[in-house]
Amino acid sequence: MSLSNRENNIRKIINLEDRIGSCNRCINTTPCVRKPSLGKGELEPELLVVFESESLGREEVITIRNRIRDGLNIDKIYHTYLVRCQPKVCTSRNNVSHYSFPKLIDNEDNCLLTGQACSGLPVPANYDEIIACMPYLIEEIQILNPKYVLLMGERVSMFVLKSLGYYDGITESCYEYENMKILVTADHNKFSDHHCQLLKININ
């Protein structure tokens, strides 16, 4: 019996998530990450949103998704991340950085060094971490094959566009990749109804 497109997507996304879940490419970051961030939403999406990392909270993600849904009249939305493991800076960790630990955080987000809630401060991922994680995002986009991919912010846009073969910087607000439209917009913390209106030009 052949699988439906949706069942195929579920199977492929589960396989991808298993690999992300056990990934240890960024050995300086993973000890302080309870589990990598995974994509969420409609598995046959019309629009796939890419955030830089899970540094924005759940409420902020919901607000942005609702703004897109209402502003662009698109219901089938999936969101995901450029980098799955949020890097942090932490003085407790720095004091023991010459040791190597597989995990320094428990299932309740408590630090195993201090016995208290993790106090690490989120910082942007560096070039190596972004490049290490990029194949997961490209694979996820290809599996879900949305009509639109929405890149939130300049860093996300620059790295993703280069990976898709656009090397000349961000010169447009819309690019073509295979059968998809790749849309560039503001960073998640600046994204407004005005940006939604601008996106409408490239939505048909």
The contact set with ligand SF4 (CB under 6 A) reads: 20, 23-26, 30, 36, 83-85, 129, 132-133
State in angstroms the smallest separation of the CB of 84 from ligand SF4: 4
Following DSSP, what letter does each residue of 106-142 receive, concatenated? -TTSBBTTTSSB--PEE----HHHHHHHHHHHHHHHH
* Cβ proximity to ligand SF4, 74 vs 85, nearer residue: 85
* Cβ proximity to ligand SF4, 36 vs 146, nearer residue: 36
State in angstroms the smallest separation of the CB of 85 from ligand SF4: 3
* Cβ proximity to ligand SF4, 37 vs 185, nearer residue: 37
State in angstroms the smallest separation of the CB of 72 from ligand SF4: 29
State in angstroms the smallest separation of the CB of 155 from ligand SF4: 15
Q: Which residue, among 124, 192, 186, 126, has the nearest Cα to 150 in the 3D structure?
A: 186
* Cβ proximity to ligand SF4, 68 vs 84, nearer residue: 84
DSSP H helical ranges for 22-95: 58-72, 91-94
Report how far apart, in Å, the C-alpha atoms of 18 and of each of 21, 30, 136, 190, 202 are. 5, 15, 11, 33, 35
